[in-house]
Amino acid sequence: MARKARKGAIKHIGNARKNKNDEFYTRLADIERELKHYQHHFAGKTVLCNCDDPRVSNFFHYFSYNFERLGLKKLISTCYKNQQPDLFSWQNPVEKGIFITYGGEKNDGKVPTPEAMKIKNFKGDGDFRSEECIELLKEADIVVTNPPFSLFREYVGQLVKYNKKMLIIGTWNAVSYKEIFKLIKENKLWIGVNSNRNISGFIVPPHYPLSGGEARVDDKGNRIVSSNNNCWYTNLDIAKRHEELILYKEYNKTEFPTYDNYNAIEVSKTNDIPIDYDGVMGVPITFMNKYNPAQFEILGMASSAGYSEEVVGIPFIGKKDARPLINGEVKYARIIIQHRKEEEE
């Protein structure tokens, strides 16, 4: 039953990407749970939350109320206009995009409301790709937000173009996007600390369906959906990225069959990576949650999309089929890896 409920929520978020229904608000508890691992990165920095209405955004709430403790220089929040009900800010309809800049000022020792901080209108719609928003992006050191799932590739591409540090939420499926995987392979992007059930769900507007058994209404009346298929993406260094995965399995041909079309073995669970196999392996994309670049080398990625040899990272054998095949059966996307070889002295 729980698996069926999760599939319903995953389908809902997948449809959101397809239909550009992108209003999934991150809960404050999930922001606090992740951000506690990055606090040392923020001292003296300007933080941008560029998909966030400051009046309702928990990202803006977190950074404004922790401004002094984190030692921030400046906090900027921007929000797209709300002429379409499925984009970014259903609670506060506006004709133009809005933004706010906060420098840590207090009223009677307290953080003022966003309204008291003087919310300003953009000349345009406040789209993160607009010139006005790009100018604010240039000011920022670190971008932290939950970007629109339907524009994830383009969103990340912009941050890379402007050489920004980031901590953002996406779906696990994004690992298999060629543009995102390229960054992961080059160690320019990696998975954060929390994912799946460690992300408790997203607040959605009243017109979004509460499908699946894990959809609910919380004690504050917020409508929550949980897909358990989400994770944080970042290029900020964290201790987790340097933890070694403890392995115990030994290789055998029965449990680890060879792909029909690659000289590599199938490892269906990350924790089952054989400790004594020096060759090439295909592992699930959730391997990235345990990836330590000092322990493993990422060679490429295989998926049902049929990527080229260059993306897969190893030569094809037999039939030139790029999909990960075992006895003719297509497996879900696989990361192609091998144990990192110790450099000879």
β partners of residue 101: 76
More confident residue, 193 or 91: 193
- pLDDT, tens digit, for every residue of 238-273? 999 999 999 999 999 999 999 999 999 999 999 999
Separation between Cα atoms, residue 317 and residue 132, nearest integer Å: 51
Mean local confidence (pLDDT), 190-208:
90
Side-chain-facing half-sphere of 283: CA atoms under 13 Å: 23
**pLDDT confidence bin for 304, thresholds 50/70/90:** confident
Mean local confidence (pLDDT), 79-83:
73
pLDDT at 136: 98
Q: Indicate the CATH number of 2-237 among 3.40.50, 3.30.2120, 3.40.1350, 3.30.70.
A: 3.40.50
Q: Is the pTM value of this prediction over 0.85?
A: yes
pLDDT at 219: 84
Separation between Cα atoms, residue 247 and residue 271, nearest integer Å: 7
- pLDDT, tens digit, for every residue of 178-193? 999 999 999 999 999 9
**pLDDT confidence bin for 317, thresholds 50/70/90:** confident
Mean local confidence (pLDDT), 278-302:
97
pLDDT at 18: 46
Domain ranges across the chain: 2-237, 243-337
Q: What percent of the chain has a predicted confidence (pLDDT) above 70?
A: 88
The mean predicted confidence, pLDDT, of the chain is 88
pLDDT at 93: 53
pLDDT at 211: 66
Give residue 5's identity as a one-letter amino acid code. Answer: A
More confident residue, 86 or 37: 37
pLDDT at 122: 94
Residues sharing a CB contact under 8 Å with residue 344, sequence separation 6 or more, in sequence order: none
Residue 12 reports pLDDT greater than 50: no
